[in-house]
Amino acid sequence: MGNRRRFQTTGICVPRLHYMVDVSNVVEQIARDYVENGEYFTINRARQFGKTTTMEQLCVRLKRDYIVLPISFEAADDCFVSLYAFARGLTNKVEVALEENEVPEEAADIWREPISVELPLDSLNRKITRFCRACKRPVVLTVDEVDKSADNQIFLSFLGLLREKYLAQAAGRDRSFRSVILAGVYDIKNLKLKFRSGEEPKYNSPWNIAADFTVDMSFSREGIAGMLSEYEKDCHTGMDVEGIADLIYSYTKGYPYLVSYVCKCVDEKIAGSEEFPAPGAAWTKNGILAAVRQLVKGPNMLYDDMVKHVEEYPELHGMLGNILFGGQDYPYHEYDRSVSIGKMFGFIVNRNGSVAVANRIFESQLYDYFLAEETRENDLQREGQPEKCQFIHNGRLDMDLVMRKFYEYYTSLYSKEDEKFVEKYGRKIFLMYLRPIINGVGNYYVEDQSRTRLRSDIVVDYGGEQYIIECKSWRGEAYHQRGMEQLGDYLEAYGARKGYLLSFDFSKKKKAGIKEAAWGGKRILEIVV
């Protein structure tokens, strides 16, 4: 690779070392709408959402107009043994930051004055006031990795001090930091805390002065295309920059870590592989899908984090399972605990007033997680699973045979099961059957706009080809005709000549079987079970 830049997925991104999406518009918006207005706020976003990189670039931008004091509480446990230790530790961290700023010597001397052992917070309070008065420019304090100490009473006492000074400064009675920026996963303003065993959990944060942070930090299609253009200038792969950027966005919805991972995977693992020997072959739709498959299967820190939190919060587990497999609609209400948790960790978003999984990659990972969980617990599902090799011929998936064998599989195992159970979990039964067939080579996702209790459209990617399968419950002939029309529209949108309709019929006059028909110039194989 020589000395050219690389894609970065761990730690901070540095422009001279890494290919990066241009976030200057985000930085300018934060500077303009928050710092210039004297706001105190928290940049709370999910893990690996680019917070630290954004904070670093924000500090560079703010130094044009402010004295900026960037500190972090990473690996700072010794600062939280007492109020004095905290005040002294904070003083030391800021003193290091002062070396990177043009600070009047008078102000620097004030900051170096010792902290009172008897009244450490009062001493820190006076130090901040005198320091800010002595500085010729407004002062901004930024605190990264604030989650490390957010449940500590000593840190909350410090936030209480900042709140008191913020209000006094607004009233003209004090001088303090122009703006304070905290960065972490949790919203400190609404942090749920439990200090001692036996106490009831409670919301208790003095950070209620903070402004709501609403800046969109996800990467846009245009931003991804700009990063790929920089890469293309160096590597000359011949990729369709706009098309590849659009494909990456369609799977990631701009989640920074996922975007960077896909690009890094194509650059360092897919290109040069047996399947994609040349970079030009890797930076194609098939190369991107190969990277997506690697990302979905893991292991990676973000997936590990997702599994941990889904298992940690049963209400989140239940909601996600009902959305994915039951097509249940949940109104997006931020004060609902499961919604608040899912949003905080970046798993869900507000889509037209309803809860939706944030992106296709998270969705695929959650499907894999839930299906693996179900397979471990479901003895019936493990029976009669056909051999994978019969469905693959010269690297191509025989989807006709997959569907025909599913008819046999379902009929032998589930035809006598409780109808309400099968109606609720029919989609899960099919995906549990499909998963081991395409596992490791193919991938699948469910089109979000079609995921309801009655129907869903499953898109399977395998070997560079896409297969469209509509799953639905039988609700009469008129509903069946609409299902055929909807499937035909999807086939047209995907440029596919053939599609598959899987109907779960629980009527007394059920006509189970397999038939093939023409519809609007397309071929549709219908399976009725």
- The count of other CB atoms within 10 Å of the CB of residue 255 is 25
pLDDT above 50 for 198 = no
Query: What token pair was written down for 386?
Result: 């056909």
Confidence (pLDDT) at 3: 76
pLDDT above 90 for 4 = no
Could you tell me where the beta strands, DSSP code E, fall in 62-178? 67-72, 139-144
Query: What token pair was written down for 143?
Result: 């605190």
pLDDT above 90 for 492 = no
- Please list, in sequence order, all residues whose beta carbon lies within 8 angstroms of the beta carbon of residue 233, skipping any fewer than 6 positions away: none
For the segment 75-85, the average pLDDT, to the nearest whole number, is 86
Residue of 39, 46, 48, 55 whose CA lies nearest to 144: 55
Q: What is the pLDDT of residues 396-431, one digit of tens each?
A: 899 999 999 999 888 887 766 556 556 667 778 888
Crossing angle, helix 105-112 and helix 83-98, to 10 degrees?
160
Confidence (pLDDT) at 504: 85
Confidence (pLDDT) at 411: 83
pLDDT-derived band of residue 40, with 50, 70 and 90 as boundaries?
A: very high
pLDDT-derived band of residue 189, with 50, 70 and 90 as boundaries?
A: low
Q: Please confirm whether the linkage preceding 331 is cis (ω < 30° from 0).
A: no
DSSP for residue 351: E
> Exposed/middle/buried for 176, CB within 10 Å: 0-12, 13-18, 19+?
buried
Question: Phi and psi at residue 110, in whole multiples of 5°?
Answer: -60, -45
pLDDT-derived band of residue 255, with 50, 70 and 90 as boundaries?
A: very high
Higher-confidence position of 48 and 38: 38
pLDDT above 50 for 15 = yes
**Mean pLDDT, the chain, integer:** 87
- Please list, in sequence order, all residues whose beta carbon lies within 8 angstroms of the beta carbon of residue 204, skipping any fewer than 6 positions away: 156, 193
- Identify the top-confidence range among 185-189, 429-433, 499-503: 499-503
pLDDT above 50 for 195 = no
By mean pLDDT, which of 251-265, 268-282, 503-517 is the weakest? 503-517
Query: What token pair was written down for 42?
Result: 């928290």
Higher-confidence position of 130 and 465: 130
For the segment 68-89, the average pLDDT, to the nearest whole number, is 88
Element housing 123 (H / E): helix 120-134
Sole residue written with tokens 């001090």:
161
Confidence (pLDDT) at 474: 76
Confidence (pLDDT) at 196: 42
pLDDT-derived band of residue 193, with 50, 70 and 90 as boundaries?
A: very low
CA distances from 235 to 230, 244, 248, 267, 454 (A): 9, 15, 19, 10, 48
Query: With the C-alpha atoms ordered 179, 180, 184, 188, is the resulting torsion angle positive or negative?
Result: negative
By mean pLDDT, which of 12-21, 177-186, 200-209, 217-226 is the weakest? 200-209
Query: What token pair was written down for 476?
Result: 């009469």
Q: Is 225 helix (H, G, I), strand (E, B) or coil?
A: helix
Confidence (pLDDT) at 496: 87
pLDDT-derived band of residue 449, with 50, 70 and 90 as boundaries?
A: low
Confidence (pLDDT) at 374: 78
pLDDT above 90 for 520 = no
Question: Phi and psi at residue 194, in whole multiples of 5°?
Answer: -140, 110
Confidence (pLDDT) at 448: 67
- Residues above pLDDT 70, as percent of the chain: 90
Q: Please confirm whether the linkage preceding 299 is cis (ω < 30° from 0).
A: yes
Higher-confidence position of 196 and 475: 475
pLDDT-derived band of residue 201, with 50, 70 and 90 as boundaries?
A: very low
Confidence (pLDDT) at 297: 82
By mean pLDDT, which of 31-35, 74-78, 148-152, 181-185 is the weakest? 148-152
Q: What is the pLDDT of residues 311-368, one digit of tens each?
A: 999 999 999 998 888 778 899 998 888 998 899 899 999 999 999 999 999 998 998 8
Confidence (pLDDT) at 359: 94
Q: Whole-angstrom Cα distance, residue 58 to residue 143?
A: 12
Query: What token pair was written down for 417?
Result: 């099961």
pLDDT-derived band of residue 264, with 50, 70 and 90 as boundaries?
A: very high
For the segment 19-34, the average pLDDT, to the nearest whole number, is 96
